[in-house]
Amino acid sequence: MEDFGMAEIVILGIILSRLLVPLLIIRWPLPAIVACLIIDAVDQTVFTAVAPDADLSGYQTYDKALDIYYLVIAYISTLRNWTNQFAVEVARFLIYYRLVGVVLFELSGIREVLFIFPNTFEYFFIFYEAVRLFWDPRRMSNMVVIGAAAFIWIFIKLPQEYWIHIAQLDLTDFVQEDIFGVAAGTSWIDTFAAKPWIVVVAIVVVAALIYAGYWLMKNKLPSRDRPLTIDADAEPDREVSPERLDAERKRMSTTFLRPGLFEKMAMITLVGIIFGQVFKVSAEPLELSLIMAVIVVANAVLSVLLERHGFGPTAALRQFLFTGLLNLGIFVAIVGFYEILGTPVNLWNTFFYLLLITLLVTLYDRYRPEYVARFSKDDEPSAA
């Protein structure tokens, strides 16, 4: 019973970290997304160490959904931060390609689908943000951007997706059984003690790679444009002038069918279907699509009304609260509708589902105007 209680505390801490850390991607993209990767990689190990007998099957539900959650936030951050428009378009294709693949997998259960639709976006995002540590990303040509995406897709993600989803091999078991020659589940201290020379070789290889990276940066790569910075707001010329941004937001507030509505509807519908399958909500995919469309349109109408009355998206928390209250009303109506039909609704899963959707809608509405204002010409319409 004590272990079970500890497991609940640890699971809650992991879930909170996986909810909050992705929000840091908006301001500190590279360290935050690396932190998300690390948390995702070690969570099961932490749970097993703290409470080896605990049933973690319920956590798998949230684990899948939170992976999509932080990837979509990373995409939204490209609208706020990235100054290379072609890279933004490549990132847009990669994230939607992956979302379509995950939807097809959730509906079919065919694991090979995820091999065909690999998660190239995540490592492409890391590549761009690594470039941005020292260099102006606008210096990257379209060929460099496409080449990086193709290299990641072919040589990194396809082997990884094959390993995970087709071969269905466990990295920890492989390292312990095939490299160190010990039984799976052996403690890592005993594992390393079995063949300590492998640890020494691994340390030497990592040190050599770090030195090679340093040598390339110093001798082969273009000269750095600025000192290292992990803060997106510290990038020179990234920010859109307040006058241009205000003008864009005023243009957007003149219509309910604002630019980006259809992209947002596509994004939230795909994410909504994935969350619906993961959380096992009562609605079918078509019903979820209609519900997501209602939520997106209702939120768009609310945003326009607020902006017309002077409550624009100047305060993220206020915008989230207004959107959340509206979505809470929709949530109550949906729950009531399904209760009348006699279909049980898991209130916690549905509420968590709604929370994630509200966060994503709020972030998209807040940061897409920066993308449009940054790349549209003064004499062109803002429908980019």
Q: pTM to 2 decimals?
A: 0.87
What pLDDT, on a 0 to 100 scale, did the predictor assign at position 56?
Answer: 64
pLDDT given for residue 89 in this prediction: 97
Higher-scoring residue by pLDDT: 203, 109? 203
Give CA–CA dist 350/280, Å, rounded: 9
Using the predicted structure, report yes or no on whether residue 313 has a pLDDT greater than 70.
no
Least confident among 3-17, 306-320, 357-371: 306-320
State the CB neighbour count (10 A cutoff) for residue 34. Answer: 12
Residue 382 above 60 pLDDT? no
Q: Is the pLDDT of residue 381 over 50?
A: no
Which is more confident, 13 or 69?
A: 69
What's the rounded Cα separation, in Å, for the pair 251 and 222? Answer: 40
**What pLDDT does 383 receive?**
42
pLDDT for the residue numbered 201? 93
Its sign, for the CA torsion 376, 380, 382, 384, is negative
Per domain, the residue ranges of the chain are 240-376
Determine the pLDDT at residue 1. Answer: 42
- Contacts of 125-131 spanning 24+ positions with Cβ under 8 A: 125/29, 125/33, 125/74, 125/75, 125/78, 125/91, 126/30, 126/33, 126/34, 127/152, 128/78, 128/82, 128/84, 128/87, 128/91, 129/29, 129/30, 129/33, 130/30
pLDDT bin (cut points 50, 70, 90) of residue 188 is: confident
pLDDT at 2: 47
137-154: pLDDT as tens digits:
999 999 999 999 999 999
